[in-house]
């Protein structure tokens, strides 16, 4: 008999290790060759020693897989003293995912994408600001006489500090460019200058000022911004829990803490049981797993070196959420879908046969309305570029960058640092004003309220990585924000203890 499975395994090892003659076809029957090969490669790593897979090693590797596949032992009993109120409340929700759009990403596609972004954001600036008449296009500036006041909208193409310490930006639209000066001032004009410091490249803004050819000397700066509104509250006593960055498969995944959270939401832990029982909705905003090959030498940082097994373990865990809690799951930059945003929902090959009626796959980003509250959930990959480009934002306070995104009405305002799909309609623009803006990615919990919108960054379940150490970042793992949708306040549940 030809040893097909042995040959298949040898092929998948691609010369990285030899298979000992004591391994027979029977030893591999029914096994997942792909995941065994992945583990063998991870086992040997960069070792220079002779790499031979013998029967003993094969047995250990197979046992490891069986152990990981064992169902997660969370006791789902109904404790007599746990009467979750959320179970008695009918779910009311709708999701709005972005369907994948195929583009060949030509220069023309990007031009169309930026035109759409510009028109959308310009409209937002004009809406509700009827007192300001904005000229229709930059080329019309030529018709204005020196010293006249005018307002103009453009996309920020360049921003520099002049020798005199002023800020000079170049704005453009499809008809031309104009340079705008924000004069360095103290006292009355200082606020305008400080605001101008926050202008990010590629954002769309309006400027009012005096024409002093070839410049406009700005006296007002307008962002698309979100309108000021009252905080939207639910009319039933439900809570919404927010999380992200689980990183299943990483050596640093805090499995014990995550299981503690699962025990808690099932009413098995004596800790704010009334809050646990009020949770009707849970958002899991990306980096569900650590992934494979996301950064160099990642294989050394993994306990599960197989992407499908990482997802299988993630879904094993998440299946322990009580069925009356509706869970919205979206991908992030570590997940195995296309890296460019918007990212589509997880594909069937990752979900496999996991189907549970209360677990909903949504795109990154997505609008999900729960009990009348509109949540915009986005992994937050672009936070890095916003923090780098906007003075005053910092990674220890991710909510600062999230507020800037609301002002810019865009989830990926800085082009070039975070890949985007040039869709016909700019899906990263914040077209609808959310009641809650939720992100993760920074592994740091952070909260703010801006113009009546609740801003939440939901931290992580991964302890401090070497990369974060190098950057001097301190994550806040295993903290779960729970938003009381009727009262509008947040409780932070700590599962580190």
Which residues of the shown chain bind Fe ion in the complex (CB under 5 A)? 245, 287
**Contacts for 220 with CB less than 8 Å, ≥ 6 apart:** 151, 192, 207, 208, 209
* Minimum separation from the CB atom of position 350 to Fe ion (A): 17
Residue 201 C-beta: closest distance to Fe ion, Å: 25
The crossing angle, in degrees rounded to 10, of helices 4-13 and 33-44 is 40
| The total number of residues written for the chain in this structure | 497
Phi, psi of 373 (to 5 degrees): -100, 120
What is d(CA 367, CA 430) in angstroms, rounded to the nearest whole number? 10
Complex with Fe ion: residue 28 or 478, whichever CB lies closer: 478
Instruction: Please list, in sequence order, all residues whose beta carbon lies within 8 angstroms of the beta carbon of residue 89, skipping any fewer than 6 positions away.
Output: 236, 237, 238, 280
Complex with Fe ion: residue 453 or 463, whichever CB lies closer:
463
Decide whether 203 or 468 has the Cβ nearer to Fe ion: 468
Q: For the chain, what is the largest distance between any 2 Cα atoms, rounded to a whole number of angstroms?
A: 92
C-beta neighbour count of 314 within 10 angstroms:
24
Question: How far is Cα 370 from Cα 281, in angstroms, rounded to an integer?
Answer: 8
Cα 251 to Cα 239: distance, rounded to the nearest angstrom: 31
Q: Which residue has the tokens 């930006």?
A: 169
Give the burial string for 388-427 (b: 16+ CB within 10 Å, else e): ebbeebebebbbbbbbbbbbbbbbbbbbeebebbbbeebb
Q: Is residue 291 within 8 Å of 337, Cβ to Cβ?
A: no
Residue 173 vs 287, nearer CB to Fe ion = 287
**What three-state secondary structure class fits 426?**
coil
Kindly tell me which of 245 and 426 has the beta carbon lying closer to Fe ion. Answer: 245
Report in angstroms how near the CB of residue 443 gets to Fe ion at its nearest.
Answer: 6
Nearer to Fe ion, 287 or 301 (CB): 287
Residue among 203 and 250 whose Cβ is closer to Fe ion: 250
Taking the least distance from each CB to Fe ion, the nearer of 96 and 464 is: 464
Report, in Å, the least distance between residue 412 CB and Fe ion: 17
Q: To which H or E segment does residue 283 belong?
A: strand 279-285
The residue (of 422 and 477) whose beta carbon lies closer to Fe ion is 477
**DSSP assignment of 321-355:** S-TTSEEEEE--TTSSS-SSBSBPPPPHHHHTT--
Nearest approach, Cβ of residue 287 and Fe ion (Å): 3
Closest approach of Fe ion to the CB of residue 14, in Å: 30
Nearest distance in Å: CB 464, Fe ion: 12
Give the nearest distance from C-beta 462 to Fe ion in angstroms: 7
In the bound complex, what is the minimum distance in angstroms from residue 290's beta carbon to Fe ion?
A: 8
At its nearest, how many Å lie between Fe ion and the CB of residue 282? 17
* 468-473: long-range contacts, CB 8 A cutoff, minimum separation 24: 468/443, 471/395, 473/395, 473/396, 473/442, 473/443, 473/444
Closer of 125 and 439 to Fe ion (Cβ): 439
């Amino acid at each position: 008999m030809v040893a097909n499975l042995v040959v298949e395994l040898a092929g998948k090892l691609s010369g990285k290790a030899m298979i000992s003659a004591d391994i027979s076809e029977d030893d591999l029957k029914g096994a997942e060759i792909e995941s065994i090969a992945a583990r063998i490669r991870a086992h040997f790593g960069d070792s220079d020693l002779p790499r031979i897979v013998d029967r003993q090693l094969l047995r250990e590797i197979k046992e490891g897989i069986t152990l990981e596949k064992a169902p997660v032992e969370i006791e789902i009993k109904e404790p007599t003293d746990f009467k979750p109120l959320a179970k008695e409340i009918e779910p009311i929700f709708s999701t709005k995912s972005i369907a994948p759009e195929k583009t060949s990403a030509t220069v023309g596609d990007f031009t169309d994408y930026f035109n759409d972004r510009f028109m959308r954001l310009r409209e937002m600036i004009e809406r509700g600001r009827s007192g300001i008449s904005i000229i229709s296009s930059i080329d019309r500036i030529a018709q204005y006489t020196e010293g006249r006041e005018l307002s103009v909208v453009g996309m920020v193409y360049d921003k520099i500090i002049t020798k005199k310490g002023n800020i000079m930006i170049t704005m453009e639209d499809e008809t031309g460019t104009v340079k705008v000066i924000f004069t360095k001032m103290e006292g009355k004009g200082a606020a305008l200058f400080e605001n101008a410091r926050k202008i990010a490249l590629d954002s769309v803004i309006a400027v009012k000022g005096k024409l002093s050819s070839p410049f406009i000397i700005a006296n007002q700066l307008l962002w698309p911004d979100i309108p000021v509104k009252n905080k939207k509250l639910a009319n039933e006593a439900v809570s919404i829990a927010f999380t992200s960055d689980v990183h299943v498969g990483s050596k640093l995944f805090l499995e014990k803490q995550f299981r503690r959270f699962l025990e808690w939401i099932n009413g098995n832990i004596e800790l704010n049981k009334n809050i646990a029982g009020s949770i009707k909705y849970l958002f899991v905003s990306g980096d569900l797993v650590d992934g494979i090959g996301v950064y160099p030498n990642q294989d050394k940082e993994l306990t599960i070196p197989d992407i499908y097994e990482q997802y299988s373990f993630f879904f094993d865990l998440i299946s322990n959420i009580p069925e009356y809690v509706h869970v919205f799951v979206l991908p992030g930059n570590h997940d195995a879908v296309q890296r460019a945003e918007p990212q589509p929902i997880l594909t069937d090959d990752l979900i496999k046969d996991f189907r549970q009626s209360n677990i909903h796959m949504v795109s990154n980003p997505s609008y999900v309305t729960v009990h009348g509250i509109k949540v915009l959930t986005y992994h937050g990959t672009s936070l890095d570029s916003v923090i780098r480009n906007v003075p005053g934002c910092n990674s220890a306070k991710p909510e600062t960058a999230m507020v800037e995104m609301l002002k810019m009405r865009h989830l990926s305002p800085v082009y070039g640092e975070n890949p985007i799909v040039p869709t016909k309609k700019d899906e990263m623009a914040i077209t609808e004003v959310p009641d809650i803006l939720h992100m993760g990615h920074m592994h740091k919990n952070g909260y703010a309220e801006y113009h009546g919108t609740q801003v939440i960054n939901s931290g992580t379940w991964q302890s401090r990585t070497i990369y974060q150490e190098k950057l001097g970042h301190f994550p806040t793992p295993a903290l779960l924000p729970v938003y009381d949708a009727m009262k509008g306040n947040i409780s932070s549940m700590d599962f580190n203890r």
